[in-house]
Amino acid sequence: MTTPLDIAGVLSEGRRYAEARMSDSCTVYDPGTATRVWNTGTKRYDLTPGAAVYSGRCRVSAPNLQAANPDAGATVGVVVSPKVHLPADTTGVEPGMHVRIDLTAYNPDLQGRVLRVEAANRDSQATALRLDCTEAQ
């Protein structure tokens, strides 16, 4: 005789573990609402996101490396697509939105980067909302 699996309990525990790994913070916003302000100190524009769809903990995972257009001949390009993990109950994130990495605990090179959401992978039993991203231009 088998014991029925407590999916809700297992999922809740998985989500706790996934969120425990989210040691970074980010802001997800519609790029059409962002503004750029000239910073005289740094001689660069500072990005100020507009209306945030999400702001809080996240995790940026190692990028997926894929051969780009392998049928093009001898030259093979590489596409780098990082994933951003948000809490599973996050809503409102759509392709085309931007993710600004606000703070990073373990990789300072990520801080300040802006990524474009290409796909939001929604699963009925996900432990996190995983966003396929590319570097925003």
DSSP 65-129: EEEE-GGGSS--EEEEEEEEEEETT-----TT-EEEEEE-SS-GGGTT-EEEEEEEE--TT-SEE
What pLDDT is stored for residue 45 in this prediction?
83
Dig out the tokens for 115 from the structure: 């990524």
Tens of pLDDT, residues 64-111? 666 556 565 656 656 568 999 999 999 999 999 999 999 999 999 999
What are the pLDDT digits (tens) for 19-77? 999 999 999 999 888 888 888 988 888 777 778 999 999 999 976 666 556 565 656 65
Its pTM stands at: 0.78
C-alpha 78/C-alpha 73 separation (Å) is: 14
Domains along the chain?
A: 23-135 (2.40.10)
Q: Residue 1 pLDDT > 60, yes or no?
A: no
